[in-house]
């Protein structure tokens, strides 16, 4: 059996330099777009706090749409870019496919900006049927076409990119090997690093989600172009949440893959694949396909068997990978004398955010609780916890590591501590307002909380303060990471 120490660099020097270059472009793009998208979130909370009265509701929902789609798309691509760079240690990834993903993302984002900020498309990231094609005068039909064009361009580019990553993995490991089936059979031909295993699971799940999006767009197009019959609303809702749920969860798993790969560098301990790790991630691959059903508990027309399946899979999907990763992370850092610089601190904190958000999600995925919490601020509370304070921190830690290792810039320990505490206090303070609002049954997706929902205004106002703290930490992070990016670019 070969081991990971036998693995040689699979990319030659020119290819490695090109891959580093495109990765730095991804980093620069993320450092520009992320603060902008955070500012959009700030705009929504300012509107809900009534600091700026009479903000146009149509504008609010177009901002909400851009914020939601933009955040998920940004961090999915940031996760893919980080994974590709780190994966090049084991397999020969394609720089061209990475560039296709980058170009399609830029084009898709441009179309998304036009459809929302100019066209005022405001159907939300979920663009539930039939609202996009029957907007009731809220926006023009061209805005819907532009939005769907954005989703199509993004989907095509990401599919090509994802397929190439899968090709790269399969060129060194068979897919059964990459999925860790050798560990399950007790017949390991060559060691499979955890990052390869988790990335393989993630890419397969992502491709299922992207194919689902294609089916959804085709059904919309057929009806919009004059089909004889309307689409089934429940089918369309199942498709959109299968697509959305998969993409969000896969983004999280890409962040976890980065943790598995990078954190051992600081703990000075290996994190190897074994039978338990392989079993956990294979179980997750199956369960994640059905856990989306908890989004449809309120649809009384849905088969009861599917509702029960959603309950069971939502509970079970939170156990295997999470438990293995949580205990693995704790075991890795325990008595390791790890020096808590910014990168490992963000990686570890990201795992913590995943745990806290996951608990909130499991609570909400309980049918009896969901009846009370479904349309309240509890939903954005748990979602933002495992996304903002989970996967985003994981990927920010991974990005900082990538730039730091390639740069000769001196580390500023004081600034790193300031980044950590500003993002932690700002992030969790912002989230706490959501959780309190959810427990108080304050509804979500409201453009304003005037009238009888004054508590919503107060919580939104408090959120503004914490978002500003988070943004301050993010700005300092961007400056420090930017310095390292420039240093890495000069070094290459």
Average pLDDT, the chain: 90
Residue 211: C-alpha distances to residues 99, 244, 281, 292 (Å) = 21, 12, 21, 16
pLDDT in tens, 293-325: 999 999 989 999 999 999 999 988 877 777 888
Backbone conformation region of residue 186, classed left if phi is above 0, alpha if psi is from -120 to 50, else beta: left
Residue 158 near residue 210, CB atoms below 8 Å: yes
* Measured distance CA(11)–CA(130) in Å, rounded: 48
**If pLDDT is split at 50, 70 and 90, which confidence band does 489 have?**
low
Q: What is the pLDDT of residue 5?
A: 37
pLDDT in tens, 243-256: 999 999 999 999 99
pLDDT in tens, 345-357: 999 999 999 999 9
Q: What is the pLDDT of residue 413?
A: 81
pLDDT at position 53 over 80: no
pTM beyond 0.95:
no
Average pLDDT over residues 112-119: 96
Q: What is the pLDDT of residue 216?
A: 95
Q: What is the pLDDT of residue 283?
A: 93
**If pLDDT is split at 50, 70 and 90, which confidence band does 6 have?**
very low
Average pLDDT over residues 223-252: 91
Average pLDDT over residues 423-435: 97
pLDDT in tens, 256-280: 999 999 999 999 999 999 999 999 9
**If pLDDT is split at 50, 70 and 90, which confidence band does 403 have?**
confident
Residue 118 near residue 101, CB atoms below 8 Å: no
**Angle ∠(328,332,336) on CA atoms, nearest 5:** 165
Q: What is the pLDDT of residue 324?
A: 82
Kindly state the percentage of the chain with pLDDT values over 90.
72
DSSP 409-423: PPP-HHHHHHHHHHH
pLDDT in tens, 120-134: 999 998 899 999 998
Annotate 368-385 with b (16+ C-beta within 10 A) or e (fewer): eebeebeebbbbbbbbbb
Average pLDDT over residues 433-454: 87
Q: What is the pLDDT of residue 450?
A: 78
Q: What is the pLDDT of residue 404?
A: 75
Kindly state the percentage of the chain with pLDDT values over 70.
93
What burial class does residue 244 get, using C-beta atoms within 10 Å of its C-beta: 0-12 exposed, 13-18 middle, 19+ buried? Answer: buried
Average pLDDT over residues 377-386: 94
């Amino acid at each position: 059996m070969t081991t990971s120490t036998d693995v040689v660099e699979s990319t030659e020097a020119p290819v490695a330099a090109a891959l580093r270059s495109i990765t730095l472009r991804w980093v620069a793009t993320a450092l520009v777009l992320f603060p902008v998208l955070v500012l959009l979130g700030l705009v929504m909370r300012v509107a809900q706090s009534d600091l700026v009265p009479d903000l146009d509701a149509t504008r609010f929902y177009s901002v909400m749409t851009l914020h939601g789609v933009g955040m998920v798309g940004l961090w999915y691509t940031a996760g893919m870019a980080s994974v590709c760079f780190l994966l090049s240690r084991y397999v020969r990834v394609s720089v061209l496919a990475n560039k296709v993903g980058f170009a399609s993302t830029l084009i898709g984002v441009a179309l998304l900006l036009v459809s929302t900020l100019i066209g005022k498309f405001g159907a939300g990231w979920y663009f539930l049927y039939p609202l996009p094609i029957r907007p009731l005068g809220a926006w023009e039909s061209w805005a819907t076409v532009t939005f769907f064009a954005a989703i199509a361009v993004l989907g095509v580019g990401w599919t090509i990119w994802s397929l190439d990553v899968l090709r790269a993995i399969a060129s060194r490991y068979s897919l059964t090997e990459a999925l860790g089936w050798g560990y399950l059979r007790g017949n390991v031909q060559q060691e499979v690093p955890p990052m390869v295993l988790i990335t393989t699971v993630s890419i397969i799940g992502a491709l299922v989600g992207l194919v689902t999006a294609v089916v959804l767009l085709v059904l919309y197009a057929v009806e919009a172009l004059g089909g004889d019959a309307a689409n089934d609303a429940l089918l369309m809702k199942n498709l959109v949440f299968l697509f959305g749920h998969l993409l969000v969860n896969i983004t999280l798993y890409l962040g976890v893959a980065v943790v598995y790969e990078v954190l051992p560098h600081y703990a000075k301990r290996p994190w190897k694949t074994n039978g338990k790790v392989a079993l956990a991630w294979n179980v997750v691959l199956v369960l994640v396909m059905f856990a989306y059903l908890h989004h449809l508990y309120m649809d009384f027309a849905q088969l009861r068997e599917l509702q029960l399946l959603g309950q069971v899979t939502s509970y079970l999907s939170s156990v295997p990978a999470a438990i293995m990763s949580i205990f693995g992370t704790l075991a890795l850092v325990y008595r390791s004398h790890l020096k808590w610089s910014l990168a490992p601190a963000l990686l570890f904190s990201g795992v913590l955010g995943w745990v806290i958000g996951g608990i909130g999600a499991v609570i909400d995925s309980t049918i009896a609780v969901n009846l009370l919490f479904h349309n309240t601020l509890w939903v954005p509370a748990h979602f933002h916890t495992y996304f903002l304070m989970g996967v985003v921190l994981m990927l920010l830690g991974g990005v900082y590591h990538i730039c730091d290792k390639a740069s000769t810039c001196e580390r500023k320990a004081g600034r790193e501590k300031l980044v950590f505490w500003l993002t932690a206090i700002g992030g969790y303070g912002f989230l706490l307002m959501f959780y309190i609002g959810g427990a108080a049954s304050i509804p979500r997706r409201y453009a304003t909380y005037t009238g009888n929902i004054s508590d919503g205004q107060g919580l939104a106002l408090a959120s503004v303060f914490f978002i500003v703290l988070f943004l301050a930490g993010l700005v300092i992070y961007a400056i420090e990471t930017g310095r390292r990016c420039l240093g890495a670019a000069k070094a290459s």
